[in-house]
């Protein structure tokens, strides 16, 4: 049974003509309301992932659930598909079960809350927001178990449920949720913070509608969606070729010693419509790296990427979705069958953006970006301190941003919109650790006419015994370079024990015991380079060396020789560049840093001492689903 919207005022909202000035005023008011939602949340949430890192995503949508302003769209669409019941004034819904909402959220840590906005008994809009909870139960602190085989091991999952029914809190359901979390006071604070943010959006939308009228408010949002659709139609026709473009990239491993896993996609245009077909993607994993990719959510990913690369002036919203078609075979890494585990989907989520870059750039090499949104590394540290109190840290770290046609990639930065780092002073104040190193790593960005951003090195000194988890990728494969640019460096995690012994950790590990005085040195990947490094201005290379971003030896990758006193040896540089160009030949469109997976695994063993992953062992039922072409 589909969701039933209950309205006291049966008068229909009509589409009317709205002048441009009024549309712009309403657009600005909605944008301000969206950012006010963020402000309310940051000031009242307790978990550092939300309060400091800003791992949350707000939106305001029209009465059909299409996002008009926000960061991520498609929440309400998936919710409406999975929810059976009434929708009434004063209701606030919560869900964290990806399978119940067709991947509108993608793992149990994300508490998605939605609020229908009513005025005089009539639905006029929606507000939604989700935040990543530090813990939702499950078999490991942080609720992101690498070795989970089913979603039931990852914490409590909740189908769409009314947490507020006509304004009254469902306290019993909330008690059950909090009872199964390791940090219930954090979850309660974050729940109340999200609720307050939704009510802020509710107030602002009602104010706008009271000022201009329901018909004008509704029509202005519809026009904002239409403007986006018109702009995106032109962008798709201009940038997406009718000839099929194919690209594939890999997740290095699944945390259970198997990999790499291929994500394959073919893209082409039919008329005004852009088609994405993920046929050829590997079957789902037996571990938790699966990513239940909602088709509407992928359209949002693709739209954001295209806008940022080709025309950042376009207002992003859900208006263009019927200009895209997404095909994802069932039983694959991106459309796993329930009850497949999903908690560590962040690796595939990050790799989707690298795949998009490879697809969209082939038809427009002048706009092509290198790889660099290669992961979203997670670090977790938990235990009991000297006073017997439980502590638990969840942190996202950053890497090198890819080189772009119009400039270098930032160093040690996030590609997630609006994300910030957790200040080291905050970490040291609230958790038993000391950050001894926090710096970018020279030469880890891929060399190019435009340099890839360097990776980030963080040194965590543990002040209490405890347990750590690390979830990362790009330790086996390289972030590729484009148009002659070289690949970025791979990630690496080194644990130095207090007695001086060292251990290279795998990129996906849980239950690593640490003692007081142990040191973790966490290196993230660098972004790939863009363009021929031999064409990079020598003065830029000199600046990078002086800034500590490139070493004197690393400058030779650009064909630049530095003389004494930090000066460029012009004659030697010209000679070296000519020799390098002759030996290299034509620049590669893509430089992955390897010619075959087998060769890559052998090199990895030599360079890191880590045993390379084995060929993935796909479950029989997932393989059959892929072979049958089930969608």
Terminal-to-terminal C-alpha distance of the chain:
22
Region of residue 355 (left: phi > 0; alpha: psi -120 to 50; beta: else): alpha
- Reported confidence tier of residue 170, pLDDT bands at 50, 70, 90: very high
For 114-138, the pLDDT digits (tens) are: 999 999 999 999 999 999 999 999 9
Distance from CA of residue 377 to its chain's centroid?
A: 10
The pLDDT of residue 618 is: 77
Residues 461-475: what's their mean pLDDT?
Answer: 96
pLDDT at 2: 64
Provide mean pLDDT across the span 212-222: 96
Q: How high is the pLDDT of residue 270? A: 96
Question: Kind of pairing, strands 481-482 and 466-471?
Answer: unpaired
Rounded to an integer, the average pLDDT of 608-631 is 68
pTM of the model as a whole: 0.93
DSSP classification of residue 569: -
The least confident of 68-82, 223-237, 331-345, 419-433 is 68-82
- Give percent of the chain above pLDDT 90: 75
| Residue of higher predicted confidence among 418 and 447 | 447
Local confidence band at 623 (pLDDT 50, 70, 90 cut-offs): low
| Helix residue spans in 253-406 (DSSP H) | 295-310, 346-362
Indicate whether 301 pLDDT > 90.
Answer: no
Query: Got the DSSP string for 378-427?
Result: EEEEEEE-TTS-EEEEEEE--BPPPPBTTBPPPSSB--STT--PPPHHHH
| Burial zone of 196 (CB within 10 Å; 0-12 exposed, 13-18 middle, 19+ buried) | middle
pLDDT of 631: 39
- Residue (of 421, 398, 440, 443) closest to 553 by Cα position: 443
Q: In the beta sheet, which residues pair with residue 437?
A: 459
C-beta separation of 400 from 524 below 8 A: yes
pLDDT digits (tens, 9 = 90+) for 62-115: 998 899 998 766 678 778 777 889 999 999 999 999 999 889 889 999 999 999
Query: Nearest 5 degrees, angle CA 587-CA 588-CA 590?
Result: 150
Q: 239-285, pLDDT tens digit by residue?
A: 899 999 999 999 999 999 999 999 999 999 999 999 999 999 999 99
Task: Enumerate residues 6+ apart whose C-beta is below 8 A from 170.
Answer: 161, 162, 163, 164
Mean of pLDDT over the chain: 92
**Phi-psi bin for 234: left (phi > 0), alpha (psi -120 to 50), beta?**
alpha
Q: Give the pLDDT mean for 461-472.
A: 97
């Amino acid at each position: 049974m589909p969701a039933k919207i209950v309205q006291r005022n049966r008068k229909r909202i009509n589409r009317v003509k709205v002048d441009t000035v009024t549309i712009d005023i309403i657009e600005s008011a909605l944008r301000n309301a969206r950012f006010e939602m963020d402000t309310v949340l940051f000031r009242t949430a307790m978990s550092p992932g939300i309060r400091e890192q800003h791992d949350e995503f707000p939106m305001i949508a029209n009465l059909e659930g299409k996002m008009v302003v926000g960061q991520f769209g498609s929440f309400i669409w998936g919710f409406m598909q999975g929810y059976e019941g009434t929708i009434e004034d004063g209701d606030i819904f919560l869900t964290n079960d990806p399978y119940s909402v067709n991947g509108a959220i993608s793992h149990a840590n994300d508490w998605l809350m939605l609020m229908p906005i009513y005025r005089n008994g009539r639905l006029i809009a929606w507000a939604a927001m989700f935040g990543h909870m530090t813990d939702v139960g499950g078999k490991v602190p942080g609720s992101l178990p690498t070795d989970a085989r089913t979603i039931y091991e990852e914490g409590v999952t909740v189908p769409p449920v009314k947490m507020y029914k006509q304004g009254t809190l469902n306290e019993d359901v909330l008690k059950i949720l909090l009872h199964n979390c390791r940090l219930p006071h954090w979850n309660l604070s974050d729940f109340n913070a999200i609720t307050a943010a939704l009510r802020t959006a509710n107030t602002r939308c009602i104010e706008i509608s009271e000022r201009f009228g329901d018909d004008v408010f509704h029509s202005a949002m519809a026009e904002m969606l239409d403007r986006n659709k018109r702009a995106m139609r032109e962008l798709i026709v201009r940038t997406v070729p009718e000839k099929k473009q194919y690209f594939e990239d890999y997740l290095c491993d699944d945390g259970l010693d198997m990999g790499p896993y291929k994500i394959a996609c073919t893209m082409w245009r039919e008329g005004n419509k852009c088609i994405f077909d993920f046929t050829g993607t590997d079957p789902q994993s037996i571990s938790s790296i699966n990513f239940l990719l909602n088709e509407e959510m992928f359209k949002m990913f693709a739209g954001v990427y295209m806008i940022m690369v080709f025309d950042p002036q376009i207002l992003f919203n859900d208006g263009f979705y019927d200009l895209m078609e997404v095909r994802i075979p069932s039983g694959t890494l991106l459309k796993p069958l329930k009850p497949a585990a999903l908690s560590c989907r962040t690796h595939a989520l990050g790799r989707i953006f690298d795949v998009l870059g490879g697809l969209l750039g082939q038809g427009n090499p002048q706009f092509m970006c290198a790889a660099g949104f290669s992961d979203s590394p997670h670090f977790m540290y938990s235990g009991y301190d000297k006073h017997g109190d439980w502590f638990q840290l969840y942190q996202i770290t950053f890497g090198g941003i890819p080189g772009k046609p119009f400039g270098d990639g930032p160093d040690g930065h996030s590609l997630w919109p609006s994300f910030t780092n957790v200040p080291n002073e905050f970490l040291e104040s609230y958790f038993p650790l000391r950050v001894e190193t926090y710096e970018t790593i020279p030469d880890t960005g891929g060399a190019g006419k435009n340099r890839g951003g360097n990776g980030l090195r963080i040194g965590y000194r543990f002040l209490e015994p405890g347990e750590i988890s690390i979830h990362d990728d790009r330790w086996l494969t390289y972030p590729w370079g484009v148009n002659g640019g070289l690949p970025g460096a791979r990630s690496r995690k080194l644990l130095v024990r207090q007695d001086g012994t060292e251990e290279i950790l795998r990129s996906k590990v849980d239950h690593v015991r640490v003692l007081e005085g142990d040191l973790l040195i966490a290196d993230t990947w660098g972004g790939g380079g863009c363009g021929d490094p031999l064409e990079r201005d020598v003065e830029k290379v000199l600046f990078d060396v002086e800034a500590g971003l490139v070493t004197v030896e690393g400058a030779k990758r650009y064909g630049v020789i530095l003389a004494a006193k930090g000066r460029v040896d012009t004659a030697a540089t010209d000679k070296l560049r000519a020799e390098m160009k002759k030996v290299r030949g034509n620049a590669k469109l893509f430089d992955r840093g390897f010619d075959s997976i087998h060769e890559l695994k052998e090199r990895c063993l030599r360079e890191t001492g880590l045993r390379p992953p084995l060929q993935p062992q796909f479950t029989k039922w997932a393989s059959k689903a892929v072979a049958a072409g089930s969608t």
